[in-house]
Amino acid sequence: MAALSEAEIEALRRVFEAVCAEYGISRQGQLIQRLAQFLMREFRRGPLDEDELLTAAHEFYREQERELGGAE
């Protein structure tokens, strides 16, 4: 696996921070870890621009909420 460039790291960080802020995701717990893992998997899986990654992250969060019943 190739190392991420500074621009890629910044794009991932912006998406991560935006989703955390928008949904009020706690910086502790399983949800934050699952979000980070999801973003890395999506990013590595294919060429996504920042907007596409953000859209995927929103859908991921909504799915997690349905699965958890809004518990986290």
- What is the average pLDDT value for the chain, to the nearest integer? 88
For residue range 6-39, what is the model confidence (pLDDT) as tens digits? 998 999 999 999 999 999 999 898 999 999 999 9
CA 36 to chain centroid:
5
68 contacts: CB under 8 Å, gap ≥ 6: 31
- Structure confidence at residue 66 (pLDDT): 87
Q: Name the percent of the chain lying above pLDDT 70.
A: 94
- Structure confidence at residue 1 (pLDDT): 61
Residue 48 has pLDDT above 80, yes or no: no
